[in-house]
Structure 1
Amino acid sequence: MVRTSILGSVVSLVLAAAVSADWFQFRGPDGQGVSAAKNIPLKWGLKKGVAWKKKIPGKGWSSPVIGQGKVVMTVARQEGEEVSLGAVAIDVQSGEFVWNRDLFTPGAAEVRKRHSKNGLASATPYLDGGVAYVHFGHMGTAAIRLSDGEVIWKRVFKYPPVHGTGSSPVVVGGKMIFNADGASDPMIVALDQKKGEVVWKTPREQKVKKTFSFGTPLVIEVGGRTQVISQASGKVAAYDPADGKEIWKVLYGEGYSVVPRPVFANEMLYVATGFDRSSLLAIRPEGAAGDVTKSHVVFREDRYIPKTPSFVEKEGYLYLVDDTGSLTCRDGKSGEMKWREKIPGNFSSSPVLIGDKLYLATEDGVAYIARVTHEGCEIIFELEMEERILASPALIDGALFLRSEEHLWKIGG
């Protein structure tokens, strides 16, 4: 049997212990929202159990990432008609700013091209080798030295956006890779990690009515070969990070505005297909080459599948919360729904799983913890955080970090 694994995450139990201190990309070390962090709080208040609460100098829905004792986020600031896009780093222990860097000043026309729910700083940074890679879609991309915020390089890769930007980057094989799925000519792009120059760009070549999507790639390994899994309108495909060539693809009709990040487990890749009605596909990537829509899709499910939040997997079961608060458990091999629990509120933030505890937050700012197994679900904690939450949580041993509309919270620690 061909061995499959997630790259950039844990490849052994020894390495798992070593990397669990950092949360260096969207959805954590493995990019899939499952954490090995220890001693995460199971309850807190608006003051009780909060190590610090820091006012963020700007707006944005990018999720926090953590490395070298710093929490990094992107921000957008507006003074009159002028908008600046930048990044900030906050000391994990003290909650004080380490650096605060302005990077880009987009024009008024670029700023207007976004959905009312979206912000101008929605893509989550990626930390690698002492560098923070930050991305604002069509408005700019930069590499910043993590220690002091000094700019290493900046680049603007233009494409016509729809509803703004949301795709977070990944770093693999010396390249920073991101999706550029806008109003026309959608593609996936790789920049040189050290210089910011375009290494390759691969057109989607998929005929769909609406070409815009907001997915974040996932790096996996199949049979010893690295693959970048990237979703677009109408299809999910695997790309070779060395040259951008498409390895295989699965088509899903007119699905567009895809947001949830893929999940790779049980030797299968799980993807949600976006609007107007989202479906969950389970795909077997082993041996896949070319169009494998008819040969490698194991199952398809159409009920209670998220359009915005990503989902998690543990011990052969998937846990999904859809945009309207339906929390479900599905068998990872068959897709069979084991149970459904309705949580009040709407969701954009992606949940995080620690052991059997699922941490969630509604758009209105209600934080929940649910104890989940394949047998059922129990809500064990609920707190109104008093600000909207669309960003996803970040974790390190002993502490939970939540970004609300105006603040970053460190809970525990």
Structure 2
Amino acid sequence: MRRFIFVLALTVFAAPRVCTADTPWPQFRGPQGDGIVSGRSVPLEFGEQSGVTWKTEVPGKAWSSPVIADGEIWATTAVEVFPSETERLELLKSAGIEEKKFKQLAVAKSIQLKLLVLDLKTGSLRETIELTQIDRPDPIHSLNSYASPTPVIDGGQIYCHFGTYGTFCIDRQSRDILWHRRLPLDHAVGPGSSPLIDQNRLILIQDGMERQYVAALDKKSGETLWETDRPQMDAPSGDQKKSYCTPIKITDPKGREQLICMGSQWIVAYQSETGEEIWKVRHGKGFSVVPRPVYSDGVVYFCTGFGKPQLWAVRVDGTGDVTDSHVMWTVRSGIPAKPSPILHDGLLYVIEDNGIASCFGAATGETVWKERIGGKYSASPLLVGDRIYLGSHEGDITVIATGREFQVLAENHLEGQIMASPAVVDGAMIWRTAEAFYRIDG
């Protein structure tokens, strides 16, 4: 039995740097948290019969992205015990769900939350680390999973977050669980926010139905260092207050370190040491925000979530409520509710959930181009060199060129649904589908 050290009872965003061949992939969207890889090349064309170094099927269902370090791929999964249709309906009724919502929700009788370790070179499953079992978990959206947040690697530890179902610190060498916390939250449709490591703190966005707040845990012990409630919202119900975003860490032009935590109705920057609010902007009535913000040259760019998704650009050098003074521009149509944006060389690239790709000028928000690619999208795009890789629910991976002219460079396909964002290491891409992991080499 593994050693458990219990404490009473979401990834590093650093200054921009070039990713070299030996740079690990420690968090959601890579070393800088922005989905950009520099100084490397990966295959343009590939498929089930071409470019696949290995393919490894894994148990369970999870939309979390892989993280990689020291020749090992780490990924969470949730193994579900499925109910019969009669049991499913009874579970939904007992959870207090309105009957009109039954079709869009999934529920399990129980789930086993696990951490998988794969060999980067061979794809072999080295180990399965049992984390916890949850009986009668809450229902989730049929497009979500019980293991959607991406873990984060920090030195010899890896931190796995499952929202209301628990947060775990695991020693990567011994595979021991060093500490475990459970911070209950009503997600309504399942967990989604990935964690962030900021120095000695593990930052979690906890935007649920009944309460919305940001928390910092001591990464060594799991103890709570601070909690800060979100600004007051005027939504009619908790459904319009919940959110699923992942924070970023920046240093603004004044030298202030900021935790930028996007949420429903508001985006807020906090002091990382104390959790005190630095500035905030009211972005409207957007809710259930998923895309992770991106930052460059004193400006943060973010999508506003479900409802009518918009793209906003806000200067980060303010203090207090800067809604009327620091908003540079907004784009009010053609914006994704789930995939995160790419910011590169003064251009912003997005892929809408329904398969329309757009490019905007970062300085003014003007539309550079907009084209339909097709398919459905949840995974965030990946930029490697001058190519952007877009993975769809249908398993199609479209590669487009960066720049002011739209150009499709390749159309590839892998078997299975793509919901997780890809990783890059050692010149190889790691893709996760609903059933398997792939290593793609040139």
TM-score scaled by structure 2?
A: 0.88
Q: Letter of the aligned partner of 1:98 in structure 2?
A: R
| Mapped partners of 1:12, 1:30: distance in 2 | 8
Aligned partner of 2:31 among 29, 36, 39: 29
The Cα shift of 1:7 comes to 6.7
Aligned residue runs from structure 1 range 91-102, under 5 A: 91-102=119-130
Q: Letter of the aligned partner of 1:345 in structure 2?
A: G
Q: Does 1:387 align with 2:416?
A: yes
Q: Does 1:84 align with 2:86?
A: no
Q: Does 1:74 align with 2:76?
A: yes
Q: Secondary structure of the residue that 1:334 maps to in structure 2? A: coil
| Mapped partners of 1:97, 1:386: distance in 2 | 20
Question: What residue is the counterpart of 1:278 in the other structure?
Answer: 309
In structure 2, relative to structure 1, the CA distance for the partners of 1:11 and 1:115 (3 Å cut) is: closer
Query: Would the aligned equivalents of 1:111 and 1:120 in 2 still touch at CA under 8 Å?
Result: no
Query: Would the aligned equivalents of 1:266 and 1:316 in 2 still touch at CA under 8 Å?
Result: no
The Cα shift of 1:21 comes to 2.2
The Cα shift of 1:206 comes to 2.1
Q: Letter of the aligned partner of 2:63 in structure 1?
A: W
Query: Would the aligned equivalents of 1:208 and 1:233 in 2 still touch at CA under 8 Å?
Result: no
| Mapped partners of 2:331, 2:163: distance in 1 | 31
Query: Would the aligned equivalents of 1:258 and 1:273 in 2 still touch at CA under 8 Å?
Result: yes
Question: What residue is the counterpart of 1:9 in the other structure?
Answer: 14
| Mapped partners of 1:366, 1:392: distance in 2 | 13
In structure 2, relative to structure 1, the CA distance for the partners of 1:277 and 1:208 (3 Å cut) is: same
Query: Would the aligned equivalents of 2:25 and 2:424 in 1 still touch at CA under 8 Å?
Result: yes
Q: Secondary structure of the residue that 1:373 maps to in structure 2? A: coil
- Deviation digits for residues 222-251 of structure 1 (CA, Å, limit 9, x no counterpart): 122211100111100001111111110000
Q: Name the Cα RMSD after superposition.
A: 1.6
Query: Would the aligned equivalents of 1:60 and 1:122 in 2 still touch at CA under 8 Å?
Result: yes
The Cα shift of 1:346 comes to 1.0
Q: Secondary structure of the residue that 1:106 maps to in structure 2? A: strand
| Mapped partners of 1:107, 1:202: distance in 2 | 30
The Cα shift of 1:10 comes to 4.8
Q: Secondary structure of the residue that 2:227 maps to in structure 1? A: strand
Q: Secondary structure of the residue that 2:185 maps to in structure 1? A: coil
Query: Would the aligned equivalents of 1:250 and 1:293 in 2 still touch at CA under 8 Å?
Result: yes
| Mapped partners of 2:16, 2:439: distance in 1 | 29
Question: What residue is the counterpart of 2:262 in the other structure?
Answer: 231
Question: What residue is the counterpart of 1:348 in the other structure?
Answer: 378
Question: What residue is the counterpart of 1:408 in the other structure?
Answer: 437
Question: What residue is the counterpart of 1:298 in the other structure?
Answer: 328
Question: What residue is the counterpart of 1:184 in the other structure?
Answer: 210
The Cα shift of 1:325 comes to 1.1
| Mapped partners of 2:276, 2:193: distance in 1 | 20
Structure 2: give runs of 5+ residues left out of the alignment: 1-10, 83-108
The Cα shift of 1:364 comes to 1.4
Q: Secondary structure of the residue that 2:56 maps to in structure 1? A: strand
- Deviation digits for residues 58-110 of structure 1 (CA, Å, limit 9, x no counterpart): 210001111111111110012463311121111111111222111121231x3
In structure 2, relative to structure 1, the CA distance for the partners of 1:130 and 1:298 (3 Å cut) is: same
| Mapped partners of 1:28, 1:17: distance in 2 | 12
Aligned partner of 1:193 among 181, 196, 219: 219
Aligned residue runs from structure 1 range 13-412, under 5 A: 16-17=19-20, 21-36=23-38, 38-79=40-81, 81-108=109-136, 110-112=137-139, 114-209=140-235, 210-222=240-252, 223-286=254-317, 288-374=318-404, 376-412=405-441
| Mapped partners of 1:49, 1:123: distance in 2 | 28
In structure 2, relative to structure 1, the CA distance for the partners of 1:297 and 1:24 (3 Å cut) is: same
TM-score scaled by structure 1?
A: 0.94
| Mapped partners of 2:174, 2:362: distance in 1 | 44
Query: Would the aligned equivalents of 1:7 and 1:220 in 2 still touch at CA under 8 Å?
Result: no
Q: Letter of the aligned partner of 1:251 in structure 2?
A: R
Query: Would the aligned equivalents of 1:21 and 1:37 in 2 still touch at CA under 8 Å?
Result: no
Structure 1: give runs of 5+ residues left out of the alignment: 1-5
- Deviation digits for residues 20-68 of structure 1 (CA, Å, limit 9, x no counterpart): 6211110111101111252311111203211110111221000111111
| Mapped partners of 1:92, 1:135: distance in 2 | 23
The Cα shift of 1:269 comes to 0.4
Q: Secondary structure of the residue that 1:138 maps to in structure 2? A: helix
| Mapped partners of 1:84, 1:100: distance in 2 | 11
| Mapped partners of 1:305, 1:390: distance in 2 | 18
- Deviation digits for residues 290-338 of structure 1 (CA, Å, limit 9, x no counterpart): 0000000000111211110001011111111111111111110000001
The Cα shift of 1:261 comes to 0.3
| Mapped partners of 1:367, 1:148: distance in 2 | 37
The Cα shift of 1:397 comes to 2.7
Query: Would the aligned equivalents of 1:179 and 1:214 in 2 still touch at CA under 8 Å?
Result: yes
The Cα shift of 1:11 comes to 4.7
The Cα shift of 1:365 comes to 1.2
Query: Would the aligned equivalents of 2:357 and 2:370 in 1 still touch at CA under 8 Å?
Result: yes
Query: Would the aligned equivalents of 1:37 and 1:395 in 2 still touch at CA under 8 Å?
Result: no
Q: Secondary structure of the residue that 1:271 maps to in structure 2? A: strand
Query: Would the aligned equivalents of 2:41 and 2:385 in 1 still touch at CA under 8 Å?
Result: no
| Mapped partners of 2:42, 2:16: distance in 1 | 23
Query: Would the aligned equivalents of 2:12 and 2:31 in 1 still touch at CA under 8 Å?
Result: no
Q: Letter of the aligned partner of 1:69 in structure 2?
A: G
